[in-house]
């Protein structure tokens, strides 16, 4: 193993405007506290929506309490109300609650009419989700027939969010073969209903007999398993929470392990209850003897942003150009990042604190310039962080309560008294964002961010990495819409030798261009600056500050769409370039790169992961070039390509979330993360895909032997003209994290190949089995594995639990490809009776050069089906006229709908 690959950490970059979405949820005496439900800024004002939210949570709490064996209930919920809604006396100012850290978002649907609740899940089985999404139409009860009561659907989504379980249905494969029977994908297998083909167009559907695909032996895709309304089965909430009898999660006893759904694929055939039992929540609780109280609600309304800069000017800030760099980064924040209408103050500290500016409201360039002139210019004295924080509280309280205010704290010095003000910080209700500058910043600094939900960042002394400017550029408000946030298009640096040039391009796409600014910094002498707009016109008017060693140009109006070219020339010094902008229109969401880390600390050799999401509103951006730049305390930077291939660390292919394992750490301490994303020739805007992790859409139901149909779920037009090439450039800070327990070199190779998660199998001619999967690496998804072990069995649990004893396929000629390549392997089953109706289960293990083995892959299934002779078609037993949705088909008795032409093949009715 190379020295650069010293340990494994997975860092997770996600989607909440350059930062970790720090949920405030806590489990206290079986009750969940600190839940934040935010109403999106674009939702029209409707006070009744607040009551509907309360009703949903109140209904969900006892349902979840009984479903979890009297373990969990909802104790307290904060509802965030948009600033644009009318204020009311009962609406309080938020404390730590923000749109950025909201657990549930109420927003208009991504696709008109598609009001299904869903949960963003980027991680693996048992890992918490990101956020639940509801629409106003769903919450107000207009989708009861499609999804059932809102409270039950909320519990379904909560299981995704909190416990990391997955769906027990499958919209892509609704039926499967088992022991020569066609079975619907569901859990448990005790539901009763009917297989019915629905041919839908517009707002109406025509039911007919299901047809069998002669190649697969299962029903064609038009076929649905329609449930009887009256059931007695109690499980499972992750399959059909809308059925009144369903009050429990699937357990090991009643879980359908053969069902080809996400729960089985991602959770290694474990039931939802088994996964829940392994959660931290479950381990911290015991069943309650009494009924829980009703949830408590607080109504919060966001207001103007209040932020105070708390800046270290101690003696150590005088070294390494730190004070000068602070001025450069501070000016970017004050001139560009902080939003219009915000209130901003400034405090500096060394051994004592000094107020540089009381709160000023940013209404024009005048206030921005005045605050920029207050930035510290002299470094002297010791370091007293608590003095700075207390002084900031005083500044804020002169005009506003500290609840919901923000403090941006920068320091480079050690301070062993910082814990003395932890209690005051907690009680203040303020959010503290921390910027650690250099390797000696106070070790406890990040605790302030953790306890208040703030962003933690780190910047080394390597000026060319532009870390300090990136950190301040990431500090946009957590409560404004995407269209109001400052977006970083470029962040680049270079140390020049002799009279060299720093050349490059920045793409201004049509979704941005307002308030576009170019910031250039240097370390010695003013460079030559050439900036050309897309038409080739040279841009004049840079404001040059020789004291701070920076030049700043704001493009008037909206910057021209296209490629901007820059050339900077200097002699033997370091230059940096930063370009920021805002959305070009208040109604057009900008292309956004957002990032998050799954953990803020990691211990060797426990893995951390890395994710990054690129999207424009609800549209994922596909086929972009995405890299993570990870910088250690000594300034060493590793560039890591992130992938959206649905393998290794990436949970879902082509969803706009790019992920990768990372293992290039060589020392303990702080690391910073930057994500760069480029869209060019290959990048494209994808369709809004149907959400994988959401409540099942009920196509219809059967009542008293009669079929009732819902409207068909809104179709997504995959030929939408919006699906086109997308050219853009973005960078964003991914915050920072700490590592520990990394051994001294040489680092032992403790890193096996990653688990294969996308194994697929199908029958091809002459009973051959075709396998496809994405190649893992020697170390997780890096390099090349040494070999594969393929096991097969006719018993799915035997294969999972006794893989080493399973029948093995001859893989002598199967040489692993490089990680993330597509693997294809075709084999003929031997030493096993593979005949018509045989169900065969297959799994793979990868082995590296030191004989470390991956976990066993997801289990793929094939069922040998030899089609019978094609019989003549029989007339449909259903009426032929068009049948309007939500109508009843009279006189059709379920027992009469039989498939006489199936021959020997038995059909299970569920």
Round to whole Å and give the CA distance between 464 and 878: 72
Write down the pLDDT at residue 62.
98
Q: Which of 157, 194, 258, 490 is catalytic?
A: 157
**pTM confidence score:** 0.90
pLDDT, mean over the chain: 89
CB distance 22 to 453 below 8 Å: yes
What domain count does the chain have?
A: 6
Assess whether pLDDT exceeds 80 at residue 359. Answer: yes
**φ, ψ (nearest 5 deg) of residue 45:** -60, 130
157 part of the active site: yes
In a shared domain, residues 179 and 157 = no
**Alpha carbon of 344 to those of 356, 362, 385, 808: distances in Å?**
11, 7, 19, 67
Shared domain check, 292 and 213: no
Residue 107, pLDDT score: 95
Q: Residue 722 pLDDT > 60, yes or no?
A: no
pLDDT, position 221:
92
- φ, ψ (nearest 5 deg) of residue 281: -60, -45
Count the alpha carbons within 13 Å of 753 in the hemisphere toward its beta carbon: 34
Residues of the chain above pLDDT 90, percent: 77
Angle, nearest 10°, between helix axes 48-67 and 150-163? Answer: 70
Joined together, the tokens standing for residue 584 give 């070009």
pLDDT digits 0-9 by tens, 764-779: 877 899 999 999 999 9
Inform me whether the pLDDT recorded for 458 exceeds 90: yes
- Answer yes or no: do 286 and 153 share one domain: yes
pLDDT band (50, 70, 90) for residue 610 = confident
Does the pLDDT value for residue 888 go beyond 60?
no
Q: What is the CATH number of the domain that holds 648?
A: 2.60.40.10
The pLDDT of residue 227 is above 90: yes
- For residues 547 and 672, state if they share a domain: no
Q: What is the CATH number of the domain that holds 522?
A: 2.60.120.380
Which range marks the domain in which residue 424 is found?
Answer: 304-447
Q: Are residues 154 and 282 in the same domain?
A: yes
pLDDT tens digit sequence for 319-352: 889 999 999 999 999 999 999 999 999 999 999 9
Stretch 803-821: mean pLDDT, rounded?
96
Distances, alpha carbon 261 to alpha carbons 174, 201, 667, 837, in Å: 9, 27, 41, 21
Number of helices (H), then strands (E), in the chain: 15, 50
In a domain, 76, yes or no: yes
- Banded pLDDT at 13 (limits 50, 70, 90): very low
Average pLDDT over residues 130-148: 96
Q: Quote the pLDDT of residue 688.
A: 53
Lowest mean pLDDT among 144-153, 575-584, 627-636: 627-636
| Residue 74 burial by Cβ neighbours in a 10 Å radius (0-12, 13-18, 19+) | buried
pLDDT digit string (tens) for 505-541? Answer: 999 999 999 999 999 999 999 999 999 999 999 999 9
- Claim to verify: residue 635 and residue 771 sit in the same structural domain: no
Reply yes or no on whether the pLDDT at 260 is more than 60.
Answer: yes
- The residue ranking higher by pLDDT, 831 or 246, is 246
Q: What is the pLDDT of residue 469?
A: 97
Residue 30 and residue 147 in one domain: yes
Of the residues 242, 269, 301, the one at which a domain ends: 301
3-state secondary structure (DSSP) of residue 423: helix
Query: Burial of 830 by CB count in 10 Å (0-12 exposed, 13-18 middle, 19+ buried)?
Result: exposed
pLDDT at 357: 98
Domain stops at, among 586, 614, 634:
586
Q: Could you tell me if residue 81 is inside a domain?
A: yes
Residue 72 and residue 146 in one domain = yes
Provide the token pair at 307.
């932020």
Contacts for 452 with CB less than 8 Å, ≥ 6 apart = 96, 425, 426, 430, 431, 432
Do you know the residue count of the chain? 910
Half-sphere exposure of 779 (CA within 13 A, CB side): 20
pLDDT score at 873: 57
| CATH number (domain holding residue 424) | 3.40.50.410
d(CA 762, CA 60): 42
Using DSSP's 3-state secondary structure scheme, residue 484 falls into helix
- Same domain, yes or no: 807 and 843: yes
Whether 877 maps to a domain, the answer reads: no
Q: What is the pLDDT of residue 691?
A: 64
Q: Is residue 788 part of a domain?
A: yes
* 890 part of a folded domain: no
629 pLDDT higher than 60: yes
66-70, 256-260, 798-802, 870-874 — which is least confidently predicted?
Answer: 870-874
Residue 419 sits in the same domain as residue 496:
no
Q: What is residue 608's predicted lDDT score, i.e. its pLDDT? A: 80
Interatomic CA distance for residues 739 and 742, integer angstroms: 8
Note the pLDDT of residue 724: 63
Question: Does 156 share its domain with 186?
Answer: no
Q: What is the pLDDT of residues 45-62, one digit of tens each?
A: 999 999 999 999 999 999
One domain for residues 666 and 531: no
In the predicted model, is pLDDT for residue 68 greater than 60?
yes
């Amino acid at each position: 193993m190379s020295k650069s690959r010293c340990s494994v950490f997975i860092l997770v970059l996600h989607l909440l405007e350059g930062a970790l979405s720090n949920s405030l949820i806590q489990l206290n005496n079986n009750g969940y506290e600190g839940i934040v439900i935010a109403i999106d800024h674009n939702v029209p004002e409707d006070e009744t929506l607040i009551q509907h939210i309360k009703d949903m949570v109140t209904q969900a709490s006892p349902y979840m309490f009984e479903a979890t064996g009297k373990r969990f209930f909802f104790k307290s919920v904060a509802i965030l109300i948009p600033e644009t809604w009318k204020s009311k006396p009962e609406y309080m100012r938020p404390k730590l609650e923000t749109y950025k850290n909201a657990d549930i978002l109420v927003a208009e649907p991504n696709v008109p009419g598609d009001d299904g609740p869903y949960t963003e899940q980027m991680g693996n089985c048992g890992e918490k989700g990101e956020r639940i999404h509801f629409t106003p139409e769903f919450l107000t009860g207009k989708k009861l027939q499609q999804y059932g009561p809102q409270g039950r659907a909320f519990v379904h989504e909560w299981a995704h969010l909190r416990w990391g379980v997955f769906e027990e249905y499958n919209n892509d494969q609704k039926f499967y073969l088992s022991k020569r029977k066609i079975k619907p994908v569901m859990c448990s297998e005790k539901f009763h209903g009917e297989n019915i083909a629905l041919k839908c167009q517009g707002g109406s559907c025509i039911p007919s007999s299901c047809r069998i695909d002669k190649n697969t032996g299962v029903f064609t895709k038009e076929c649905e398993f329609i449930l009887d309304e009256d059931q007695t089965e109690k499980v499972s909430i992750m399959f059909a929470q809308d059925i009144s009898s369903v009050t429990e999660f699937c357990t090991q006893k009643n879980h359908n392990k053969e069902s080809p759904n996400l729960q089985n694929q991602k959770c290694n055939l474990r039931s939802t209850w088994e996964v829940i039992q392994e959660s931290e929540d479950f381990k911290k609780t015991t069943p309650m003897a009494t009924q829980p109280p009703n949830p408590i609600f607080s109504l919060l309304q966001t207001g103007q942003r209040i932020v105070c800069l708390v800046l270290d000017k101690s003696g150590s800030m005088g070294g390494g150009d730190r004070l000068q760099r602070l001025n450069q980064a501070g000016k970017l924040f004050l001139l560009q990042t902080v939003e219009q209408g915000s209130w901003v103050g400034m405090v500096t500290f060394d051994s004592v604190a000094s107020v540089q500016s009381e709160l000023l409201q940013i209404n024009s360039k005048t206030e921005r310039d005045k605050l920029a002139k207050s930035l510290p210019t002299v470094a002297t004295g010791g370091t007293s962080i608590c003095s700075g924080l207390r002084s900031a509280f005083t500044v804020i309280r002169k005009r506003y309560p500290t609840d919901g205010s923000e403090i941006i704290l920068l320091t480079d010095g050690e301070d062993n008294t910082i814990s003395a003000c932890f209690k005051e910080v907690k009680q203040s209700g303020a959010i503290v964002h921390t910027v650690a500058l250099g390797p000696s910043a106070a070790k406890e600094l990040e605790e302030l961010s953790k306890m208040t939900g703030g962003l933690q960042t780190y910047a080394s002394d390597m000026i060319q990495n532009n870390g300090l400017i990136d950190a301040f550029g990431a500090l946009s408000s957590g409560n404004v819409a995407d269209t109001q946030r400052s977006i970083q298009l470029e962040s680049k640096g270079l140390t020049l030798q002799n009279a060299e040039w720093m050349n490059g391009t920045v793409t201004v796409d049509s979704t941005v261009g307002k308030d576009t600014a170019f910031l250039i910094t240097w370390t010695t002498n003013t460079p030559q600056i050439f900036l050309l707009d897309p038409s080739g016109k040279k841009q004049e008017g840079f404001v040059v500050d020789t004291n701070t060693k920076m030049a700043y140009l704001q493009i008037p109006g909206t910057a021209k769409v296209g490629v901007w070219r820059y050339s900077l020339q200097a002699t033997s010094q370091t230059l940096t370039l930063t370009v920021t902008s805002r959305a070009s229109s208040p109604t057009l969401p900008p292309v956004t790169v957002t990032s998050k880390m799954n953990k803020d600390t990691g211990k060797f050799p426990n893995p951390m992961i890395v994710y990054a999401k690129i999207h424009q509103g609800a549209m994922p951006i596909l086929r972009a070039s995405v890299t993570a730049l990870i910088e250690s305390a000594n300034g060493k930077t590793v560039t890591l390509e992130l992938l959206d291939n649905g393998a290794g660390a990436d949970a879902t292919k082509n969803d706009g979330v790019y992920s990768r394992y990372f293992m290039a750490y060589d020392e303990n301490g702080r690391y910073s993360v930057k994500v760069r994303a480029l869209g060019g020739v290959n990048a494209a805007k994808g369709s809004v895909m149907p959400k994988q992790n959401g409540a099942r859409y009920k196509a219809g139901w059967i009542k008293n032997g009669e079929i009732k149909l819902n409207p068909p779920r809104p179709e997504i037009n995959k030929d939408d003209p919006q699906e086109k090439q997308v050219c853009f450039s973005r960078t964003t800070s991914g915050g920072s994290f700490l590592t520990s327990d990394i051994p001294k070199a040489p680092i032992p190779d403790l890193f096996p190949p990653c688990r294969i998660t996308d194994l697929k199998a199908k029958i091809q001619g002459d009973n051959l089995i075709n396998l496809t999967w994405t190649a893992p690496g020697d170390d997780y998804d890096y390099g090349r594995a040494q070999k594969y072990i393929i096991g097969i069995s006719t018993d799915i649990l035997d294969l999972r639990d006794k893989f080493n004893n399973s029948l093995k396929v001859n893989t002598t000629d199967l040489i692993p490809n490089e990680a993330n390549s597509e693997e294809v392997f075709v084999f003929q089953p031997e030493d096993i009776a593979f005949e018509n109706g045989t169900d065969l289960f297959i799994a793979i293990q990868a082995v590296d050069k030191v004989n470390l083995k991956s976990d066993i892959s997801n289990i793929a299934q094939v069922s040998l089906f030899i089609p019978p002779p094609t019989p003549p078609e029989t007339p449909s037993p259903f009426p032929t006229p068009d049948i309007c949705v939500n109508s009843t088909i009279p006189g059709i008795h379920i027992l009469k709908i039989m498939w006489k032409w199936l021959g020997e093949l038995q059909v299970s009715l569920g």
